[in-house]
Structures are given as C-alpha cells and as structure tokens.
Amino acid sequence: MSSTPVQPKPITQSNRILYLDILRGLAIFFIFSANIVYFSGYFDFPRDSRVGSLFFPIDDIFEFAMYTLVDGKFYSIFSLLFGIGCAIQSHNLKKYNKPFLPFFRKRMFWLVIIGLIHLGLFWLGDILTLYALLGFALLWFVNLNNKYLLKYAVILILLPILNWFVISVLGYNYPSYFFDLNAQYNKSMNIPISDWGDIAMTNFTAYLQNESLLDFFKTNIGNTMIRLAFILEEGRPFKVLGIFLIGLWSGRKILNDSLLENTNLLKKIAVWGISIGLPISIARTAITFFGGYDTFWSFLKTISYAFGTVPLAIGYAASIALIYKKRSELFNWLAPIGKMALTNYLLQTFSAILIFYGIGFGLNGKFGYTLIICIALSVFALQVIFSTWWLKRYKFGPMEWIWRQLTYGKVIQNRK
C-alpha cells in the first residue's frame, strides 16, 4: 500500500513497480482466502448445517493444504512489502532532499485512523491498525545498516517464543486482561457471551446471525479487545516488525544492488526458504489439526510457527520474482489489484459481511471449506475487473487517493 516510487536504474521503474504490485495483489487474495473462512462462520456452526455435501470429502484435505501453504504466509509477504515500501519512500524523499520522518509519521497517523475505523466498526481481524502502529516503531530502524537490520529481524521473529514462555510457563497471562475486558463490555451491552475453554468472549454464532446494524457496531467495538488479546497472546507485533525489517533490507537491496535482477541470489532464497519453511509448516498443520491443547502442544505450535512461516513466505516471494522474470504475462493481471491494495482489502471486508452476516444475506455457516474458497475466488475476480476498469480512468484507487490527500494535506487530481 505504498505510494508509487521513483526508482533508479538498473531496474526500470515499470518493471519493479509491476513486480511489487503483482506480489501485493497475490497477497491480497490469499489474505482474503484465509479471512473469509472466519467471516463465513465455518468454525461456528455444525457441519450438518452446510450445503454442498458433494465437496465434503475434499473439504478436510483442502483445509489442511490451505492451512499449510497459506495461513500466515501471505500477511507475512504483505508485511515484507510494507518494509520495502518504507525503504523506497525513504530513498525517494532523500533523493529530492525532502524529510522522510515527518512524511511517514503523517502517513502512518492516517493509516491508524483508517485501521481503527475498520477494526472498531467492521472486522476484528483488521491488520491495518497493527501495521500503522508498528510503522512508527519501524522509524527507529530506518538508519540502521543492513547487518543490524537482519540481526534485529531474527531476534524479533523469535521473540514470540519468549512471549509464549512468559504466558504459559511463568504464568503471566497478560492477554487475559483484554479477554476479561471484552466479557465485561459485552455484559454491560447485553451482547451474547460464550465460553471458549476457560475464556468468556463474544458469542460469534449469535454475532454472525444478528440482524441489527446497531448491535453489529456495538459488538465490533468490544471485539477490538479480543483482537488485541490474540495479537498479544501470539506475540504478533514482534514477528510483524521483524518482517518489516527484512522488507527494509530487501528494499535497499532492490534499489542499490539490483536484487530483482540477481537470479542466483533469488534462487538461493527460494530454495532455502521453501526447504526450511514447507516441512515445518506441514508439521505445524499436523500439530494444529491432530495435536492436543495442553502446554506441550501449545509450545510446538509456537515453535513451528516461528521457524516455518517466515522462511516459506520469503521463499514464495523469491520464487514469484523468478517466475515473473521469465513469464511476466502470467501475473500482469494482478497488478491493478496490488495498486489498489488498501481499497481492495477494505472491499473484501464489506463483501464478506454482505454475503455472510445477518445484517447482509445471512449465509453464515451454510458452506463447507471448498465452497467458501470458491466464493473468495468469485469476489476476487470481480475485484480484478473493477480495479482494471478503475485504473484506466484514475491514477489511484479510491482509498489510496483519500489516504494520499490526507497525508499531503491537499487536494490531488485523480482522474487521468
């Protein structure tokens, strides 16, 4: 969701921007394919309430594969792109002798506002707010040399393991405070509550079926506490900031060392990332699907997530770059989606709410995994058509245009 950069040679501006937009567009789809499962109520309703029994035999296999190959990997790629965008913006502003820090702070401030509206009123799975807040933290690292960037990145990506130790072994379960806040809020607002193990939180079955727009917004406000609790519980801020730093390193390498033209290095990154990440991700899925819920299994999940997700995500990014160099025509149709990433991310939320929630068509709990992904593909196809149509007429997507104007504090012409 970075602004269009002016990039130096040896890689041409159009090629580099196109690859980054393509990667961003691909990430937007797979983030949606993971999120839509939760939007749909897949985990909140009994299996026998679903239609499409023809697909039931493959649902479990498909879910296993998607959890292995997709879950966590593409928001990691999105995080990588965020760091790359920061590096490119910093480079461009310095090139024209303009201060970077005030610009980026203002950019992140308005992203926080957009994210909080999205999180607090519509979708507890919002990533914009976390990204924006960590964007302020990223500024502490923008002047570090590349060696220290990678060192800090590794430390941050592994810190969720220490976070698990503090919560599960030392018994300092600080995220539970926010679960309790959610329960207290729901009681005060007469919002249905259910027990998830030893945690009381929003009853998501009732939430999805609710037909009152006012109750929908009231519940979402309380759900922000659930979101915060889960983010802290898994130590996600550490991991995301760590990937931002890898992105910052990658952006510098793209700008200064022609990373996207370095086929040998990209091959090494792809091979090592997939060789390490894929087996560990398979093990993580097996642990999640077939393991238990005690401390031992919780530890294995945390370890496998820390060591498997980021390498596989980076392996994907390098592999796509290699394929793109040889067969760019296979991916070009994704570029409009990536150029309008913020707009499309928000449209996916509104589309899923319209399809599945009680305030919309109320199709929650009706579909198995395969049909849910088919719905995601259908929505995405419409977004490709819309984004292509829009960018033939306008320079920026609707939300990108609004964000840009807020950042620069002036009206910007959008029509081509």
280-310 in b/e burial notation, b at 16+ Cβ within 10 A?
bbbbbbebbeeeeeeeeebbbbbbbbbbbbb
The pTM (predicted TM-score) of the whole model is 0.92
CA distance 273 to 276: 5
CA distance linking residue 70 with residue 257, whole number of Å: 30
pLDDT at 55: 67
| Cβ-proximal residues to 6 (8 Å cutoff; 6+ apart), any chain | 13, 92, 95
* pLDDT reported for residue 6: 39
Token pair for 390 = 């829009």
Instruction: Name the token pair of 159.
Output: 């810190």
Give the pLDDT of residue 47.
82
Distance, CA of 68 to CA of 283 (rounded, Å): 9
Query: What's the pLDDT score for residue 9?
Result: 33
Over the chain (416 residues), what is each successive 10-residue block's mean pLDDT?
38 58 96 96 86 76 94 95 95 88 96 98 96 97 93 97 96 94 95 86 95 96 96 96 97 92 95 97 95 90 95 97 91 95 98 97 93 96 98 96 94 92
Q: Assign 272 to helix, strand or coil.
A: helix
For residue 53, what pLDDT is reported?
64
Given this model, what pLDDT does residue 160 score? 97
Phi-psi label, residue 235: left if phi above 0, alpha if psi -120 to 50, beta otherwise: left
Please tell me the predicted confidence (pLDDT) of residue 16: 44
Instruction: Give pLDDT, residue 196.
Output: 80
Beta strands in 162-307 (DSSP E): 193-196, 199-202
Q: Give the per-residue pLDDT at 54.
A: 64
What pLDDT, on a 0 to 100 scale, did the predictor assign at position 13?
Answer: 40
pLDDT at residue 7, rounded to an integer = 36
pLDDT recorded at residue 48: 80
